[in-house]
Structure 1
Amino acid sequence: MISSRTRAGFTLNVIDTPGLVEAGCVNDQALDTIRKFILNRPVDAVLYVDRLDGYRVDSLDRQIMTALARMFGVVLWKIALLVLTHGQIAPPDGTSYPEFVSKRTEALQQAIQQAAKFKKSDPQVPTIVVENSARCATNDDGEKVLPDKTIWLTNLVGNVVEVVTREKSSRYTIDERQIKGSNGSWWYKLMTVPLFLFQVKAVYPLIRSQVFADIDKDDEDE
């Protein structure tokens, strides 16, 4: 689903993607639908949304991150922001709110770094905590604030603008060649095993017999 808003000559298009998980597995069909939907549509920023109140990064999380890198290329993570929802959560006893956010962020950042094959010197994906429920606290101006007093909407918009406008950032675009190339790569993978078996069953015996024939001929010449 795509929503558009125009204000002061500026148009903001937001694409809300379908869920990436179905029956406990990565939904490749959903990923393919997203890829075809954004065909030739420039993408300036990607919001990867997870929950702040998750207590670990499991194998499914890693599979999703790897699938995104595989389907869209690691460049997608270059324009991504990590958005953590349920920001109003009270951390466990003995843990401060900043410590809780930092621990959760660090675990997800490490998983993203592995999936995107980032170097240690590469900048981390910006992290923003949000809370849009009615129970979210507000300041005197009516703006929703997190337990650490951060105005999360301002923080979110500011980070998105920074990703879009930073010097080394470039718009992400997927074209028809990439889609065909991906399909071709899957065809190549499917054909690898039959080709290998053909080589073992047919080509290798021919080469082997020719080698031994040459050896026998050399022995006769001697």
Structure 2
Amino acid sequence: MAAGFTLNVLDTPGLLEGDSVSARGLMALRAALNGRKVDAFVFTDRLDTWRVDNADRAIFTALAENFGAELWERTILGFSHAQTTPTDGKPYEQFVAARVEQYRAAVRSTLGMKNLALPYVLIENGSRCKTNGDGEKVVNDKPWVTDMVSTMVDVASVGEGYEYDHSKAGKKLDPNNKHKIWILPLFLIQVFVLRPLLIGQIKRDVKKAESKAKGKK
């Protein structure tokens, strides 16, 4: 309880197992969100990672499919390891801007939601992080915790919070099973359609070869 309101913080599990989206992670997130109204999400990744790969895109999609695209409308991009030094000699502000725009573009294109705002915050909790006179950890001359809370308040102030509805979630617990429904039909097509066609073609080719052999004699 602070300043007359209650602040609930949910720390979600990792959403990757190897190269696949974690079904267990999604289930844990469902359990955490069930019955709660959430005003802001912070989706975190490292500032010093210069790529967005297929595993990242799979997570973007899995979250939208399992929890609704509106979740992303309340999402803030959080970039950890923010006290990194740009390796290409760029000014820090340009380095951050490039990484942010790279991530925004990846999320928007993956979800087909080109108008997502996706505000961002920088996060650095290392012991070597600079501090100001009040003992607050500072990134790019700003206390990052204060900046993060301010950004979350801005997002939370826009309309009603997100509320997860288990009854509308459907049966999307395992995003890696997305196409398994087609395995049996494809197998049946292979057995009952393709196999007879191939066997028939082989038999015709054999007969042609035998006929040519007889003609030469």
**Which TM class, normalised by the smaller chain length?**
0.7 to 0.9
Letter of the aligned partner of 1:178 in structure 2? K
Equivalent residues of 1:52, 1:87 under 8 A apart: yes
Write the distance in 2 (CA, Å) between the matches of 1:189 and 1:59. 17
Displacement of 1:158: 0.4
Unaligned runs of at least 5 residues, structure 1: 1-5, 202-222
Corresponding position of 2:85: 90
> Displacement, 1:81?
0.4
Q: Does 1:152 align with 2:149?
A: no
Identity of aligned residues (%): 39
Q: Secondary structure at the match of 2:43?
A: strand
Cα distance change of structure 1 residues 192 and 102 upon mapping to structure 2, 3 Å threshold:
same
- The amino acid that maps onto 1:182 is K
* Residue 36 (str. 1) matches residue 36 (str. 2): no
Whole-angstrom distance in 2 between the partners of 1:50 and 1:30: 16
Q: What is the aligned counterpart of 1:182 among 166, 171, 176?
A: 171
Residue pair 2:86, 2:92 contacting (<8 A) in 1 also? yes
Deviation, 1:124, is 2.0
| 2: CA distance, partners of 1:96 / 1:164 | 32
Query: 1:183–1:111: structure 2 CA closer, same or farther, 3 Å change rule?
Result: closer
Contact 1:69 1:115 in 2 (8 A): no
Specify every segment of 5 or more residues in structure 2 that has no aligned partner in the other structure, as ranges. 193-217
Instruction: Check whether the contact 1:65–1:112 (CA below 8 A) recurs between aligned residues.
Output: yes
Q: Distance in 2 between matches of 1:137 and 1:57?
A: 28
The structure 1 segments of at least 4 consecutive aligned residues displaced by more than 4 Å after TM superposition are 186-198
What letter matches 1:32 in structure 2? M
Match of 1:82, SS? strand
Structure 1 residue 162 and structure 2 residue 151: aligned? no
RMSD, matched Cα: 2.6
Relative to structure 1, the CA distance from residue 65 to residue 189 in structure 2 (aligned partners, 3 Å threshold; closer, same or farther) is closer
SS of the residue aligned with 2:142? coil
Q: Distance in 2 between matches of 1:63 and 1:177?
A: 23
Deviation at residue 141 of structure 1 after TM alignment:
2.6
Greater relative contact order (CA < 8 Å, ≥ 6 in sequence): 2
Aligned to 1:135: 128
TM-score (normalizing by structure 1): 0.75
1:69 aligns with 2:64: yes
Do the aligned residues in 2 keep the contact of 1:44 with 1:164 (CA within 8 Å)?
yes
| CA distance 1:139–1:8, shift in 2 (3 Å) | closer
Task: Kindly provide the CA deviation profile for residues 34-90 of structure 1, in whole angstroms up to 9, marking residues without a partner as x.
Answer: 113312211111110100010111111111111111111111000010000011111
How many residues get paired? 187
Q: CA deviation at 1:132?
A: 1.2
TM-score (norm 2): 0.77
- TM-superposed CA distance for 1:9, in Å, is 2.8
SS at match of 1:15: coil
